[in-house]
Copies of this chain bind each other. A is one copy, B any other.
Amino acid sequence: MPDLARRLAVARGDELADVVVEGGKVFSAFTREWLETEIAICDGYVAGLGEYAGKEVVHARGKYVVPGFVDAHMHLESSKLLVDEFARLVLPLGTTTVVADPHEIANVLGTDGVHWLADLADEVPLDIYFMASSCVPASKFESPRRALTAGDLEGLLARRRVIGLAEMMNYPGVIAGDPHELEKLALRSSHVDGHAPGVLGKELQAYAAAGIGSDHELSTLEEGRERLRAGMWVLIREASAARNLEALVPLVEEFGPGRLAFCTDDREPEHIAAEGHMNSIVCAAVEQGVAVEDALVMATLNPALWHGLGHLGALAPGFQADLLLLPDLESFEPELVLKRGQPVEEIPRPDVPDWVKNTVRVQSVANNDFQIPWEGGKARVIGLIEGQIVTEALEEELKIDDGLAVADPSRDLAKIAVVERHLGTGRIGLGFVRGFGSQRGAIASTIAHDAHNIVVVGVDDGDMARAVQRLAELGGGLCVIADRGVQAELPLPVAGLLSDAPLADVVKGSEACVAAAEALGCTFPAPFQMMAFLALSVVPKLKITDRGLIDVDRFQLVSLETD
């Protein structure tokens, strides 16, 4: 506990504050007023609002002073950045706290990886809270390095930074009363994030009755209304791929912002660098007609309330002094960010230990590993839909060459493979995908939700094999191969998910990969982002893992041949 006696002396005016913020209009998240008051800060906490004297003065005349933004739900790994670089990126944008589900790293590095992330979080000024990843693997069709048990979660929940159970993606299991899922829920029944896209009616009642308290996967007003009535918080998501703000904004007018909060879920580094982070959601909400005060509450106090972070999300006595000076209420680009009452200083770079690298272990692959003997007939083909991670389940005749099914660029049919890469089992799932537009070569990535095996899409088996080899050499990342040669690559050596390089290098590498893919004919926007979701077996309709094609609606493995 900080020195409460000193804080009280400052509040009473008996001692000088460390810092006084003076002259600004201070947003009260509780009353939604703009108060003309000073803020006295002591040991990183607000001691009092009123007239105070301090050792330092921050002049805020003409500025708006608001609490730092709290991201209600996100995955650090989507930024491809280590925690320190992520903090360097988002703190100046006004995000001072994030609640992260570390399930990407948990799929690769187990609970050890989560503990390592949490240790890193201790070293950065950004407040990072974790939810214990409830669904590793996301389904029985996925192959992480190891599955997390209820016992693993119990251990994670014992850590101070781990405050609840992360998104319960196995919603069919929860609704059906699967004992394994109920065992997890029993660990922390009062604070569990949800994940239930499209679930309505009695199934939603069951999901809420299980104690799931939020959802961020909804995209319609009907879903929003049902969730609010069921007592769930609605976390309005604006990710890089899935963007739900526009569809859900009417909920604010209909019911008030009381049980609504904003979250970023998955934001790519390019996206954050170009558009911003939580501040861009506030900005977009206001542009779409939400009152500034409501938008701010949804980005500050409300996420803190849902997560029981009683010292965050507001500027009032006893709250942590995370605050932003805004020159206006339109751009929401902070002119100054105080974290625990201080400007953010240089954030040290952490040592990255060997054990979090070198996670890519594959058997030697060759052209013939990607061969598909085929005698004709219709095949199941994954069909991409722009702007969605849901896919179509197509049925197509395949081009046959010497008894083998092959890619057919003229009909935009590429081959897709998922190669198990944690244990070197040699397990490979094979299929076809339509929508990328690629004419030659192959693109591959070790980011492939949620198990993060290697996903590779190509029109040439040799280039596909080379891509997998190259990712194994890099220890993970993205790459583009043509004529057996590397056209572009982004190394992600940490768990095959994260770079240990600065943001600029990551963005540059990422952009180079996209440009190289385009040079191979790829016409799908953000192709690596899309490809990363083709292995996610809990989002409809047709997906692929190292175990083969998954009919998500039937929730079973299916053959390449149609029934």
Contact = CB atoms under 8 A, between A and B. Distances in A.
Interface of A: 1, 4-5, 7-9, 11-13, 28, 30-33, 35, 40, 45-50, 174-177, 179, 182, 185-186, 189-190, 201-203, 205-206, 208-211, 213, 225, 228-231, 254-256, 258-259, 310, 314, 316-319
Contact of A30 (B174, B177, B179, B259): B259
A203 B49 contact: no
A49 B205 CA distance: 7
A256 B210 CA distance: 31
Given A11-B209, A50-B201, A31 B179 contact: no
B5 A229 contact: no
Given A182-B4, A314-B231, A316-B229, A47 B209 contact: yes
Contact of A11 (B1, B40, B202, B319): B202
A258 B189 CA distance: 25
The prevalent SS among residues of A at the interface is mixed
B319 A205 contact: no
A259 B46 CA distance: 20
B210 A4 contact: yes
Given A186-B1, A229-B33, A8 B316 contact: no
Pick from A8, A203, A255 the residue with the most CB of B within 10 Å. A8
Contacts of A254: 31
A211 B4 CA distance: 9
A252 B10 CA distance: 32
B31 A202 contact: no
A346 to B, nearest CB: 30
A228 B30 contact: yes
A318 B210 contact: yes
Contact of A31 (B9, B175, B185, B225): B225
Contacts of A230: 49, 316-317
Given A1-B186, A30-B259, A48 B318 contact: no
23 contacts: A1-B186, A4-B211, A7-B209, A11-B205, A11-B206, A12-B176, A12-B202, A12-B205, A30-B231, A30-B259, A33-B229, A45-B209, A47-B209, A48-B206, A50-B202, A205-B317, A206-B317, A208-B316, A208-B317, A209-B317, A231-B316, A231-B317, A231-B319
A332 B538 CA distance: 47
A378 B437 CA distance: 102
A229 B30 contact: yes
B28 A208 contact: no
B229 A8 contact: no
Nearest to A6: B177
Contacts of A49: 205, 229-230
A229 B28 contact: yes
B179 A5 contact: yes
Nearest to A9: B177
Contacts of A35: 229
A179 B6 CA distance: 11
Contacts of A185: 4
Contact of A182 (B5, B177, B318): B5
Contacts of A255: 30-32
Contacts of A210: 4, 7-8, 318
A437 B205 CA distance: 63
Contacts of A5: 177, 179, 182
A207 to B, nearest CB: 8
A365 to B, nearest CB: 44
A177 B229 contact: no
Nearest 3 CB-CB pairings of A with B: A48-B205, A231-B316, A11-B206
Given A50-B202, A205-B47, A255-B31, A175 B8 contact: yes
A501 to B, nearest CB: 40
Contacts of A256: 256
Most buried by B among A28, A201, A206: A206
B46 A209 contact: yes
A182 B485 CA distance: 68
A203 to B, nearest CB: 7
Interface centre among A4, A28, A46, A174 (most CB of B within 10 A): A4
A9 B182 CA distance: 13
A211 to B, nearest CB: 5
A206 B9 CA distance: 8
Nearest to A11: B206
Nearest to A301: B231
Nearest to A231: B316
A182 B5 CA distance: 8
Contacts of A1: 186, 189
Contacts of A206: 8, 11-12, 47-48, 317
A40 B46 CA distance: 46
